[in-house]
Amino acid sequence: MWETLVAAIMTAVLTQAGEDAGRAAWGTVRGKLRRRLGKRADLIDSGDPAALEQAVREILEADPDFGARIQALLGIAAPLPLTAPEPAPVTVRLLPAGPSDFVNQVGALALLDEIRGDRAAGATPVVVIRGTPGSGKTALALRWGHKRQDWFGHQLYADVRELRDPVLGGPESPDTIVTAFLLALGVPSGLLPDTAAGRLALYRTRTADEPVLVLLRGAALPAQISPLIPTAPGSVVLVSTHHDVRGLAMDGAHFIDVEPLDDAAARELLAAGSGPGRVDDDPAAVTRLVTLCGRLPLALRIVAGRLRLDSGLTVADLVEELAGESYPLDALALPGTDGSAVDPLFTNVYRHLSEDSRSLYRDLGVAPVAEVPEALLDRIGWSDRRARRAAVDQLLGLKLLERPARDRYAVHPLIRAHGARLATEIDPVRAERVVAGTLDHFCEFAEAADRAIMGERRRLIGGPVRTAGPFTGPDRRARALQALEDSREDLLRVARVGPALGADEQVLRLATAAQALYFNHPHLADQVAMSDLAISAARRLGRPDIEIQIHCTLAGAHGTAGDLDRARAEVRSAFALLPAANDRKLAGTVWEFHARILDRVARAAPEAEQAAARAEAEAAFRTTIDTFREVGLERGVALGHFYYGLFLDAAGRSADAVHQLTQARDGLDAAGDDRNATRADAAIGAAHLRLGHHRQAYDELAVAAAFFAVAELWRYELDVREDLIRAAGALGDQAAVAEHSARAAEIRALSEPGK
């Protein structure tokens, strides 16, 4: 038919003479065609195969006898009815089916639509889809290809992952793919050019007329991709790969990063794969399971499959299994399969890394943190900046590492598990050094933050104080508190590895410094877990003094949370340890917390019992002040007056409260404790407000509000602003009421989740 002869002529004409040994007739065909083209003979060398092909068709249409002679020269045995109508073109659809439970990625699909919108000839977009192994890169490409198949005359697909050069063993050239594509496009195998250049020229000819989608999975090198780019307007090349092909950026390639699913999409995928009703009964366990799977589609499909196949398995069972596994990827396997389905993906990417990148991959895996600051890399052996930069760059390029901030790196939890296993298998000594270095780094970091937040206070344990820490400047307190908040989960992860290393002292240092976070941002579950670790470490080291301190801070946390029984139990434990500690300053601390808990008990007591409860609390406050005064701890005395003043004001004795609070403010000022001195100012203002001294109350409160605003102590500032609104209202100052109301609303907005 026409197509067969035209393909044969184009092959003969476009193949270079020096590459066609055994095809002498091709040179004759080129010569005859050149003469027949006459003035259009330059089309042969113009690099425009579409125009040349059109000219060949016109010649055959005008002179079928010429076509018959060319047919004979090319040795095509079967007669070709040159004048017969051409067959209807074959539409090639090579894309495999995508997953049926595809969810989300709306933004990425829209971006692909937008990229394809530029349909200028010769400007075929190449789109590289990157992401963590198992994140659904190929699923995204297939979903878009099937969704938009009407946009393309042909859809070609090749899985490049297993193609290897037979001699060198590296990634093979694209010739194998070109040949497969030509056969799919209808070129008979007997008419395929003998040379790679000839086959490539014919491929370009066959993909020059109508839009073509080319999807390449697993391409390793830009040189494997560039030759396969079709030129027909509206064509697109999608590359789904775990290799680093950023070199394509020089040719204008687009890069789309496939991120792990958000929580809602992850739950949707889990529900779709596990069957009706399997994940409806335990939303808390579902949330935890999604987190343990790192919101990775492949991992979620595996656990969903396990739920679907085993009706006796619950989501809670899977959570327990994944959370309890020292190597959680072992739990990501379907029944009847050989090992984890996720592990081979990570291993395949790992084996393509440079030696330095492999080492960093293992170190990041064994470091017990989700986010790694630059300073930690120095601490665990990556002080060579050039080697570190190259290794980090490769891991970032392969989406094995993320950069949530300029000086911080995040590791996906399943990648971290894979790296940790490799680290303990390949170099266990180095792995232990990395863990120990991480623990030391976080101790120093938390202690520096603690000093910036809490200033000078009595610390029973700590490392050496650096002259220049990371937190300096007027906003050091706010930055230190935010840094601790950002590292909250990692602080606990690091503390948990301490006992296995015999690092009880570091655990105590970390737990003590972390109190600066818990005092200001209550995280009761974290504080209880950290305190349990610290109490066990203190007992192993024979440090009842630190154990007392931990019990007291726990008492305060439970009291704030409203669990007064648990708070009183913690205080009793602290009192029981005082003889062993033999420390009168600690005795004052225990009495202070005891008094504060009794204050809460008195406020919650039935009216008939309040008098007795208040008397007990008042006696405890006086004992607190006397104990601190006895040992000369003036800041302790001032804090005793402060909490006693708050107690008196709540009990309706505001005039007595002002007296105690004024002593507290003076003592705290003298001790340099600006934060608590300002809290005393605010409490004095509140007491005057209750006494009806509105102008005096307003003046005291305004000073406190200004300090808390600058220090970003919004929890305290909000209470003060609400008192200012009442004071301004009593004074008839509506402008001040509006000002403080607006600021209070702003603080509430800042307190919303995600702000």
What are the angstrom distances between the C-alpha of 47 and each of 44, 60, 266, 474, 703? Answer: 7, 21, 50, 67, 80
Interatomic CA distance for residues 751 and 755, integer angstroms: 6
Interatomic CA distance for residues 422 and 424, integer angstroms: 6
Helical H segments across 15-130, by residue range: 24-37, 49-62, 64-73, 106-116
Residues of the chain with pLDDT under 50: 1, 17-22, 77-88, 165-170, 753-755
What are the angstrom distances between the C-alpha of 661 and each of 15, 225, 439, 585, 688? Answer: 96, 75, 41, 22, 11
pTM (predicted TM-score): 0.73
Structure tokens at 202: 């014919």
Structure tokens at 136: 């659904």
- Per-residue model confidence (pLDDT) at position 116: 82
Compute how many other C-beta atoms are within 10 angstroms of the C-beta atom of residue 412.
Answer: 23
- Per-residue model confidence (pLDDT) at position 20: 44
- Per-residue model confidence (pLDDT) at position 236: 93
154 in Cβ contact with 91 (< 8 Å): yes
Structure tokens at 373: 């600051």
Interatomic CA distance for residues 416 and 185, integer angstroms: 44
- Per-residue model confidence (pLDDT) at position 87: 43
pLDDT by residue (tens digit) across 55-95? 888 887 777 777 777 776 766 544 444 444 444 456 888 88
What are the angstrom distances between the C-alpha of 317 and each of 25, 332, 351, 669? Answer: 73, 13, 33, 55
pLDDT by residue (tens digit) across 255-301? 988 888 888 888 888 888 888 888 887 888 888 888 888 888 888 88
Q: What are the strands of the beta sheet with 402-405, ordered from one edge?
A: 371-373, 408-410, 402-405
Interatomic CA distance for residues 575 and 696, integer angstroms: 41
297: which residues sit within 8 A by CB, 6+ positions away? Answer: 103, 134, 135, 136, 139, 260, 261, 269
- Per-residue model confidence (pLDDT) at position 337: 60
- Per-residue model confidence (pLDDT) at position 47: 66
307 in Cβ contact with 267 (< 8 Å): no
626-629: list long-range contacts, CB under 8 Å, 24+ apart: 627/584, 627/587, 627/588, 627/591, 628/585, 628/588, 628/592
- Per-residue model confidence (pLDDT) at position 624: 95
